[in-house]
């Protein structure tokens, strides 16, 4: 009888999903109250997918992002990233894999206010121990990619909201991560500036990046190719987007 191919260790990496999550649970205890922020999520994500994560407030979106981004470990269940079971990694091991595999974009940008765009964008490479000249080159390349080649010496307060989010996106790209995770990336932007960021994400998707974006807005979610809807820590719905917002757009 032929064995089913579930053993990640023996499956070639090109055939493995980038993300495989099995019955993932996360329990929080606040005094006597127990909350299952994630209550049995099973999910796989292929390389190059563009996914939106939706759901009401408190449904577990950020908790799931934290797990997928190796910021936290689950109470139970498995998380295979690139075939490696990272569910039980120590904090140091998680930091290492995070630095190598994950790029984060946050709602509030999280830029260092006192340093220019170039220094902000190169930050993950400092943690990775890369030489100064190589860092500068890579950060400049990432800033050019997000359309900020002419703003490298500006500090965050000398930029618009959309430009700040572009710097944050450049910082997420700079270590050439396997996954880009964005939690409400347009949450602090007006509609027009948010649209600009979604254009940038579309172009990153077309370049082959894997994107997971948490959002409250249907309009934003419909830029992705697949939507996951969470409710009470469970995956309520997992659907393909039939006509993605910018699928026919010309992007640079
Ligand atoms: N550190 C924590 N300690 C205790 N409970 C937590 C913690 N983090 C999250 N929770 C609880 O877990 C549940 C899921 O929270 P989570 O932040 O993942 O929701 P969310 O879907 O991101 O919500 P929002 O849309 O408001 O950002 C909530 O009930 C929340 O109160
Ligand atoms: Mg959240």
**CA 90 to mean position of chain CA atoms:** 21
Question: Average pLDDT for residues 62-81, to the nearest whole number?
Answer: 96
Radius of gyration of the chain (CA): 18
The pTM for the full model equals 0.91
Nearest CA to ligand 1 atom 7: 28
Q: Is the CB of 62 under 6 A from ligand 1?
A: yes
Q: Is the CB of 210 under 6 A from ligand 1?
A: no
40-240 folds as Rossmann fold (3.40.50)
Q: Is the CB of 59 under 6 A from ligand 1?
A: yes
Nearest residue to 28 via CA among 4, 51, 58: 58
What single string gives the DSSP state of each residue in 153-222? T--GGGS-HHHHHHHHHHHHHTT--SEEEEESTTTTS-HHHHHHHHHHHHHHHHTT-EEEEE-S-HHHHT
Give yes or no for residue 8 having a pLDDT over 90.
no
| Residue 185 contacts residue 52 (beta carbons within 8 Å) | no
Alpha-carbon gap, residue 73 to 95, rounded angstroms:
12
Q: What is the pLDDT of residue 15?
A: 73
Q: What is the pLDDT of residue 43?
A: 97
- pLDDT band for position 5 (50/70/90)? very low
252 C-alpha vs ligand 2 centroid, how far in Å? Answer: 31
Question: Average pLDDT for residues 130-142, to the nearest whole number?
Answer: 95
Cross-strand bridge partners of residue 210: 179
Torsion sign, CA atoms 231, 94, 203, 208: negative
- pLDDT band for position 129 (50/70/90)? confident
Q: What is the pLDDT of residue 251?
A: 86
- Ligand 1, residues 53, 54, 63: which to mutate, most atoms within 8 A of Cβ? 63
Alpha-carbon gap, residue 80 to 62, rounded angstroms:
19
Quote the percentage of the chain above a pLDDT of 90.
90
Q: Which two tokens stand for residue 24?
A: 């993932």
Sequence ranges of the domains in the chain: 40-240
- Condensed to tens digits (0 to 9), the pLDDT of residues 193-215 reads 999 999 999 999 999 999 999 99
- Condensed to tens digits (0 to 9), the pLDDT of residues 9-47 reads 556 666 789 999 999 999 999 999 999 999 999 999 999
Q: Is the CB of 63 under 6 A from ligand 1?
A: yes
């Amino acid at each position: 009888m032929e064995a089913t191919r579930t053993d990640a260790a023996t499956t070639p990496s090109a055939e493995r999903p980038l993300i495989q999550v099995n019955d993932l649970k996360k329990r929080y205890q606040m005094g006597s109250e127990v909350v299952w922020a994630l209550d049995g999520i099973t999910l796989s994500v292929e390389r190059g997918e563009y996914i939106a994560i939706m759901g009401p407030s408190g449904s577990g979106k950020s908790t799931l992002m934290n797990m997928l981004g190796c910021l936290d470990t689950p109470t139970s269940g498995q998380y295979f990233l690139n075939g490696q079971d990272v569910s039980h990694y120590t904090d140091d091991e998680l930091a290492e894999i995070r630095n190598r595999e994950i790029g984060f974009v946050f709602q509030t940008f999280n830029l260092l206010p006192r340093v220019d765009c170039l220094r902000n964008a190169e930050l993950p490479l400092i943690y990775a121990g890369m030489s100064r000249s190589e860092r500068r080159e890579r950060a400049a390349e990432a800033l050019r990619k997000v359309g900020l080649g002419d703003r490298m010496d500006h500090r965050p307060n000398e930029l618009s909201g959309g430009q700040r989010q572009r710097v944050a996106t450049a910082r997420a790209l700079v270590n050439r991560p396997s996954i880009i995770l964005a939690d409400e990336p347009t949450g602090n932007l007006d509609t027009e500036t948010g649209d600009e960021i979604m254009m940038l994400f579309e172009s990153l998707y077309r370049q082959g990046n894997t994107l997971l974006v948490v959002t409250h807005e249907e309009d934003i979610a419909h830029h992705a190719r697949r939507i996951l809807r969470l409710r009470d820590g469970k995956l309520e719905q997992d659907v393909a987007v039939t006509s993605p917002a910018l699928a026919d757009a010309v992007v640079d």
